[in-house]
Amino acid sequence: MDLMQTLRERAAARPMRVAFPEGDNETMMRAVRELADEGLAQCVLVGDGAELARLAGERGISLDGIEVVDVTDEAANVACCERYLAHPDCRYKPKGAAKRMTRPLERALIMQVLGDVDVMFAGIANATGDIILAGQTIVGLADGVDTISSCGIAQVPGWSGGEDGLIGFGDSAVCVDPTPEELASIACASSDTVAALTGWDVRCALLSHSTDGSMDNALVDKVRAARNIANERRPDLKIDGEFQFDAAVRPDVAAKKVRRESEVAGRANLLIWPDINVGNIGVKIIQNLTGADAYGPMLQGFKKIVCDCSRSAPVSEIVGNVVMSCVRAQALAEGE
């Protein structure tokens, strides 16, 4: 199963509007050009219009078919500010809102709030923390979510577990030491993210060094509490634990260790790490020992699709991450 090719086809079938507040960066601009040329997204550059045009000319990059929102256009800024101030999610007074019309990252997020774009994509010039803070302040958290987190998907060669060798995981990048409430949020948000990207019947396992009561300590208590909170908040999702890794993904091990009915044990296609240490180490073990391709991590937990990429991301990685973000935005739009 070629996950990325499937996602590209889905993105092209219904291109979403994506705001890029870092179009002055050459790598980002070239990625935007490729996305537009392949019909994968409706691209909107947000920044100084004259400077973007100048840079595009120097780089030999055409901006044909790419919309530019010029943050130096005073009349357009005033019109956008008035719309934003009238929106129930606006948290600023007139002076504060007006200032944010000229700041590309915040303007792009405000465009999301107003429904002018579906996705905001940045990270090559803005720090992850700045993107998360601005996203929380302007876009806000989704209902029932306590924390912003991340999720990814790995394609493991030669492995038949998960979902035909594909498995989701979260959080490996954002939430350092989640509380039970935050861990429950990660499980719920990751289940929604993976379902949106793949269409799977998601079976989410909360991982631990204990399986179904084999150990009893504070670390295990956190995972059990997270399971109970997640089940109470989202009874529509299949979230269970606590499971060791093998009990989560191998039916034969689950049959020995889990002595109760579970829709997840031995059949998990989404893994939730108990903290960022386990998550970061776990993903790198999977990648380096198996040669797995890992897609993501993707930010999640906002009301809209807010994205962050690596500072060193090449064009191909940016394009792939935008494609995944657009497919997630399609699913979000269908659910509204």
Looking at the fold, whether 41 and 95 belong to one and the same domain comes out as yes
| CB contact at 8 A, 167 and 153 | yes
Q: What is the residue type of 323?
A: V
Query: 262 and 282, same structural domain?
Result: yes
Provide the pLDDT for residue 260. Answer: 92
Average pLDDT over residues 138-142: 95
Rounded (10°) CA dihedral 1, 250, 282, 223: 120
> pLDDT averaged over the chain?
95
What is the arithmetic mean of pLDDT over 115-129?
95
Whether residue 159 is found in the same domain as residue 289: yes
Same domain, 265 and 157: yes
Task: Please give the pLDDT value at position 213.
Answer: 87
Which CATH number does the domain housing residue 224 bear?
Answer: 3.40.50.10750
pLDDT at 170 over 90: yes
pLDDT of residue 336: 62
- Give the predicted TM-score (pTM) of the model: 0.90
Average pLDDT over residues 284-308: 91
**pLDDT computed for residue 143 by the predictor:** 87
Whether 156 and 269 map to the same domain: the answer is yes
Q: What are phi and psi of 124, to 5 degrees?
A: -75, -20
Q: Do residue 277 and residue 156 come from a single domain? A: yes
3-state SS assignment for residue 295: strand
What are 21-55's pLDDT values in tens digits?
999 999 999 999 999 999 999 999 999 999 999 99
198 and 135 share one domain: no
Tell me, yes or no, whether 255 and 314 share the same domain: no
Q: What is the pLDDT of residue 69?
A: 98
Same domain flag for 136 and 206? no
Domain that holds residue 314: 3-140+302-335
Query: What are the tens digits of pLDDT across the range 193-213?
Result: 999 999 999 999 999 999 998
- List pLDDT tens digits, range 238-258: 999 999 999 999 999 999 999
pLDDT for residue 151 is more than 90: yes
pLDDT at 1: 54
* Top-confidence range, 139-148, 261-270, 293-302: 261-270
If asked whether residues 329 and 256 sit together in one domain, one would say no
- Say if residue 78 is in the same domain as residue 27: yes
Which of 109, 118, 122 lies closest to 32 in space, CA to CA?
122
